[in-house]
Amino acid sequence: MLEVQDISVGYGAIAALHGVSLRVGAGEIVTLIGGNGAGKTTTLRAVSGLVKPRSGRILFDGRDITGWPAHRLVAAGLAHVPEGRMVFANLTVLENLRMGAYLRRDRAEVNRSLGHVYRVFPRLEERQAQPAGTLSGGEQQMLAIGRALMSKPRFLMLDEPSLGIAPLLVKSIFERIVEINRDDGITILLVEQNANLALRVSGRGYVLETGRITLADTAAALQDNPQVRGAYLGG
């Protein structure tokens, strides 16, 4: 479904990615693990069109999408829940969700998606009239994921969904992520500091170090890999 071919990305004179390649097949959950500044977020930003790669190609469903603006990729079925959630704090929860369906014209279909999001995250329905800025971190994460689902994506990228969230909620959010993949058939690319948790729900994973992919394997193999255990899984 997604194929990243040898992309390099730089911010000014600083290079963030040096020839990263990875692929995600339809229906998979794939995790990208790596330390701070390894280039995980930059990889996702390149795929969703927020930064333009200096070289390399990105294919989505076999189509070359390199250099497409972000809003056009949403129409193609790609959704990105960015690091730090970026909910519209000045809009209500419901307005945030409706903005998620910005490109969809069929009202009945949009309302069906809204009902679906409320079933996945009942907390959002209770808070629908509240400004999103008044939600807790965990609720904002639910909203960010819900908003992404409202675009009816086929491919979803999640950047650090556990960051700054109470441990109990983290578990629940990861259960929802697995459901979204299994029940809705949405392919997922996950970036996560909590590598233990991420590998447990994923089929495969990539290890990113200073802008390069250093390991690619099944999640089970990565969990057993002594190097990975030492560096990312706490021994």
Partner 1 sequence: MSEFLQQLLNGISMGAIYALIALGYTMVYGVLRFINFAHSDVFMVGSFAAFHVAPRLGSGAVAGGMAILCVAMAASALLGMAIEKLAYKPLRGRSTLTVLITAIGVSLLLQNVGQKVFGAEPKAFPAIFPSRTFHLGTVVVNSTQLVTIATTLLLLAALHVVVHHTRVGIAMRAVSFNATAASLVGINNDRIISFTFALGSALAGAGGVLYALNYPSIDPLMGTLPGLKAFVAAVLGGIGNLAGAALGGLVIGLVETFVSGTRLSTYRDAIAFGILIAILLFRPAGLLGRDRVEKV
Sort residue 185 into left (φ over 0), alpha (ψ -120 to 50) or beta. left
CB of 144 vs partner 1, minimal distance in Å: 9
CB closer to partner 1 out of 70 and 166: 70
The distance of closest approach from Cβ of residue 74 to partner 1 in the complex, given in angstroms and rounded to an integer, is: 4
Q: Residue 72's closest CA among 94, 36, 102?
A: 102
Residue 18: both structure tokens together: 């040096």
Q: Does 147 bind partner 1 (CB under 8 A)?
A: yes
Distance separating alpha carbons of residues 7 and 165, to the nearest angstrom: 32
Among 40, 80, 127, 204, binds partner 1 (CB under 8 A): 80
Site for partner 1 contains 54 (CB under 8 A): no
102 sits near partner 1 (criterion: CB under 8 A): yes
What letter does residue 157 receive in the DSSP assignment?
A: E
Contact 19, 6 (CB under 8 A): yes
Residue 112 binds partner 1, judged by CB under 8 A: no
26: contact with partner 1 by CB under 8 A: no
- Is residue 82 a contact residue for partner 1 (CB under 8 A)? yes
Which of 37, 54, 64, 70: binder of partner 1 (CB under 8 A)?
70
Contact call for residues 209 and 34 (beta carbons, < 8 A): yes
Taking the complex as a whole, the smallest distance from the CB of residue 212 to partner 1 amounts, in Å, to 26
Interface with partner 1 by CB under 8 A: which range of 26-34, 145-153, 190-198, 201-209? 145-153
Among 3, 28, 61, 95, binds partner 1 (CB under 8 A): 95
- Site for partner 1 contains 74 (CB under 8 A): yes
Minimum Å distance from CB 72 to partner 1? 8
Of the pair 76, 169, the CB lying nearest partner 1 is at 76
Rg of the chain on CA atoms, in Å: 17
Q: Is 166 in the site for partner 1 (CB under 8 A)?
A: no
**Quick check: helix, strand or coil at residue 204?**
strand
- Counting contacts by CB under 8 A, is residue 71 touching partner 1? yes
Angstrom distances, CA of residue 125 to CA of 81, 114, 143, 146, 168: 20, 9, 10, 11, 20
3-state SS assignment for residue 139: helix
**DSSP track, 64-102:** E-TT--HHHHHHHTEEEE-TT----TTSBHHHHHHHHTT
By CB under 8 A, name the binding residues for partner 1. Answer: 48-50, 69-71, 74-75, 79-80, 82, 86-91, 95, 98-100, 102-103, 147-148, 150-151
